[in-house]
Amino acid sequence: MSSTANSSSQTSPTRHKIVVCTDLGPTLPLLTERHDIDVVSWNEPRRCDRAWMLQNAVGASGLVVCFQNIVDREVVDAAGPNLRVVSTISVGYEHINLKVMADHGIQVGYTPDILTDAVADSAVMLALMATRRAGQSYTFVKDNQWPTFHWTPFAFCGPQISTTSFSPTRTVGFLGFGRIAHAVLKRLSAFGVTHCIYTPRPGAPDQSARDENLRSTLNLVSVAPVDLETLARKSDVLFLLAPGGEATRHLIDESFLRLMRPTSVLVNNGRGSVVDSTALAKALKEGWIWGAGLDVVEEEPQVGPEHLLVKEPKCVVLPHIGSAALETREEMARLTARNVLAGVLGERLPVGLDYSRLI
């Protein structure tokens, strides 16, 4: 069962109706405590039922969704002509049909920037876990193998991210070099990383001034754009922070992975579809690369013990928790509520998506 706040699905024609299809946590009162808004909310600790969403969308001026809620023509038709805004508690918007939004003049709110630091933290965490075999080591202790273990100098060793006097250079690579990548690079500069390479999207403008500023600010030897082949060959740790979609699907395939070093580590905090799971599992099994840290997997959420990547000892898989810091999620929810309120009241969204350039 779902629960509602302030109203049932039938509302007064003089009041705006907002349907909340996901958990807004402690920020829900920003909507429910207003006297000019009727709120219908899904409060179950699971994905909102599609049938519930369609039924309650009728007459809505605003919808609040997450990446699990598909907003397509069926939803818009169910809502009817009052629908003014769809506000998603996410950076991604692949779950929203932007062409349909444009056709109906519906604003789209989303939550970029806020999660930059939280995702950057988790990316560095995954890099450390993958390089230093944290997943294997944790399982070793949990399965009570430590008491019978015979220590040797190179047991559980992995490549080191930080530079030393006897290993003075490190190159980190990025596929997707936006705000989150810059935040990751800032954190890694404290480890003594020396070189940064990235592959820009096709047609991207020259960013040499920005790159020089990053280089000097973070005290790096170089920051430079490279082609995909060089990115594969030169990266000690490669961070995938690219958006999803057909343009990036399986960019990391068998041919790419075969170019990487046996001591290289792959970290994916972007979109699961960027990596061919079968190819990555093969690369790990056959030792083309050292390890992988994944917050996203193409097949998610259908990822369990028998998934080919979960079965690989040198692969750390987390359930898409990159932005799951309390402070970050609360601020994302707050912005989501502000976006939907602005939309139903006919105001400019605090952070709205300019979808005209995306369709």
The amino acid at residue 25 is: G
To which residue do tokens 């810091």 refer?
Answer: 325
What is the reported pLDDT for 324? 96
Question: What's the rounded Cα separation, in Å, for the pair 177 and 158?
Answer: 26
pLDDT at 9: 42
> Of the residues 74, 94, 254, 300, which is catalytic?
300
Domains of the chain, start order: 3-114+326-357 (3.40.50.720), 116-317 (3.40.50.720)
Q: What is the DSSP letter of 128?
A: H
150 is catalytic: no
pTM of the model: 0.89
- List 16, 182, 271, 329, catalytic entry: 271
Which one of 15, 104, 258, 320 is the catalytic residue? 320
What does the buried/exposed string (b/e) look like for 278-310 if buried means 16 or more CB atoms within 10 Å of the residue's CB? ebbbbbbeeebbbbbbbbbbbeeeebeeebbbb
Q: What are 193's two structure tokens?
A: 């990383």
Separation of alpha carbons 260 and 252, rounded Å: 11
Among residues 31, 330, 65, 15, which one has the least CA distance to residue 4? Answer: 31
The letter for the amino acid at 92 is G
pLDDT of 14 reads 66
Identity of the amino acid at 241: L
Question: Over its length of 359 residues, how does the chain's per-residue pLDDT go in tens digits?
Answer: 445 544 434 444 568 999 999 999 999 999 999 999 999 999 999 999 999 999 999 999 999 999 999 999 999 999 999 999 999 999 889 899 999 999 999 999 999 999 999 999 999 999 999 999 999 999 999 999 999 999 999 999 999 999 999 999 999 999 999 999 999 999 999 999 999 999 999 889 999 999 999 999 999 999 999 999 999 999 999 999 998 889 999 999 999 999 999 999 999 999 999 999 999 999 999 999 999 999 999 999 999 999 999 999 999 999 999 999 999 999 999 999 999 999 999 999 999 999 887 77
**Which amino acid makes up residue 278?**
T
Q: Can you tell me the distance from the alpha carbon of 19 to that of 192, in angstroms, rounded to the nearest whole number?
A: 49
Does the annotation mark 254 as catalytic?
Answer: no
Q: Are 21 and 64 in contact (CB under 8 A)?
A: yes
The beta strand positions in the chain, using DSSP E, are 3-5, 16-20, 37-41, 62-65, 85-88, 107-109, 171-175, 195-199, 222-225, 237-240, 265-268, 291-294, 315-317
Q: Record the tokens describing residue 115, joined without a space.
A: 């999660």
Does 320 participate in catalysis according to the annotation? yes
In the numeric block, the tokens 């699961």 are attached to 272
DSSP secondary structure of 274-336: GB-HHHHHHHHHHTSSSEEEES--TTTTS--TTSTTTT-TTEEE--S-TT--HHHHHHHHHHH
